[in-house]
Amino acid sequence: MGGDGMEVNVGISEQNRQVIAEGLATFLANTYAVYLKTQNFHWNLTGVEFYPMHILFEKQYEDLAAAVDEIAERIRALGYYVDGTFGGLNKLKTVKDEDKVLSIKDMLHRLVESHETLIRHARKLGEVADAQGDFAAVDMLGRRLGAHEKMVWMLRSSL
């Protein structure tokens, strides 16, 4: 049921909507984790490549911030609530936090790994959503795949 007490009737069964929403919730948690990691690295950069990396990381975390909202709204459109608390997101994420200041090279490596986690998850979830006829989720995940693959390309090119 939606938040208004009305049953969601969009042509996807409740069971399938739930599977997609749960997959999106994990994707949301990981996207938020990569957003936070990218912003953390942006704040803590040092060295001769500070300025170009500072700008690159800023562009990437801005994209990720918009993505977080879009993913959460898709979950809501499927009729499910979003646990947007740090605790709730932390339970679902698989992307590793960084608990120390790293060199720029190590930051780039960790971001590539994190984006590749998102890419693999989006690819698998896109197949599930496609099989259930959730073409809005497929479209969103396809755009996110393209964005993450471009981010990885830019990060790798900076190594």
CATH of the domain at 62: 1.20.1260.10
With a cut of 60, say whether residue 2 has pLDDT above it. no
Q: Which residue has the higher pLDDT, 95 or 4?
A: 95
Q: What is the pLDDT of residues 10-49, one digit of tens each?
A: 999 999 999 999 999 999 999 999 999 999 999 999 999 9
Establish if 5 belongs to a structural domain.
no
Quick check: 5 pLDDT over 80? Answer: no
Note whether residue 3 is domain-resident. no
Mean per-residue pLDDT, 131-156: 98
Asked if residue 7 is part of any domain, the answer here is no
Q: Give the model confidence (pLDDT) of 81-129 as tens digits.
A: 999 999 999 999 999 999 898 999 999 999 999 999 999 999 999 999 9
Q: Is residue 33 part of a domain?
A: yes
Using CA atoms in the order 23, 27, 32, 35, what is the torsion angle rounded to 10 degrees?
180
Give the pLDDT band of residue 4 (cuts 50, 70, 90). Answer: low
Return the percentage of the chain with pLDDT > 90, whole number.
94
Residue 30, domain member (yes or no):
yes
pLDDT band of 6, cuts 50, 70, 90: confident
Asked whether residue 151 is assigned to any structural domain, the reply reads yes
- Tell me the whole-structure pTM to 2 decimals: 0.95
pLDDT of residue 157: 97
Mean pLDDT along residues 37-64: 97
pLDDT at residue number 10: 93
Number of folded domains that form the chain: 1
Is residue 31 assigned to a domain?
A: yes
Within a domain: residue 8? Answer: no
Domain containing 78: what range? Answer: 14-157
Q: Which pairs with CB-CB distance under 8 Å and at least 24 residues apart come from 68-72?
A: 68/28, 68/31, 68/32, 68/35, 70/140, 71/24, 71/27, 71/28, 71/31, 71/140, 71/144, 72/28
